[in-house]
Amino acid sequence: MHDRRLVTRSKRGNRDALRRIYEKHRDKLLMVAIALSHDVGVAEDALHDVFVAFTENLARFELTGSLKAYLATCVANRVRDLMRRRRLARAEPESACSAGSDRDEPSRLVACNEELQQVSAALAQLPSEQREVIVLRLYGQLRFRAIVQDAGVSVNTVKGQHRYGIGNLRSMLNGEV
């Protein structure tokens, strides 16, 4: 169901619509939070906090753009707040590959986990601006315009951060750094 209809139904008290919003966006938002925090616990806390706040403020909420972009921005902000408050040491996230089905071959899951850990470690080494743009673009599937609204910089700056960040990731993953 379309996000606008789900929000409207949720505002009218339909709990099923609110549950559907959560289920529709949960996995992508969790991936964004894990990629930014490198800590599954912080990621889950951020996701929980965002949906609790979203539910509490639903009566005043007006959807003006993409709900996915709005929620991804909220999650990114919440992760930043939690990281600032807890001053967490960077750690590799638990496998996000566990979202795959139980029917997957164990060797494929192991390979996925190893690749995820390599990418996660490389992401952790990027400057925070580059890391956030890449995570919001790739994991959050946000357009550059949506990222700009949160970042408060020009589209060209965000595109440059993305381009340099991807180049840096390629270098790190290819062992050039």
Residue 50 tokens, joined: 């965002």
C-alpha dihedral, 157 to 173 to 176 to 155, nearest 10°: -10
pLDDT tens digit sequence for 49-78:
999 999 999 999 998 888 999 999 999 999
Q: Going by C-beta distance under 8 Å and a sequence separation of 6 or more, which residues neighbour residue 31?
A: 96, 139, 140
Residue 43: which H helix or E strand, with range?
Answer: helix 40-56
For the chain of 177 residues, list the mean pLDDT of each consecutive stretch of 10: 88 93 94 88 92 93 90 91 65 44 58 76 88 84 81 86 90 78
Q: What is the pLDDT of residue 19?
A: 94
Q: How many angstroms separate the CA atoms of 19 and 149, rounded? A: 27
116 in Cβ contact with 97 (< 8 Å): yes
Q: What is the pLDDT of residue 92?
A: 39
CB atoms within 10 A of CB 8: 13
CA atoms lying within 13 Å on the CB side of residue 107: 0
pLDDT above 90 as % of the chain: 36
165 in Cβ contact with 122 (< 8 Å): no
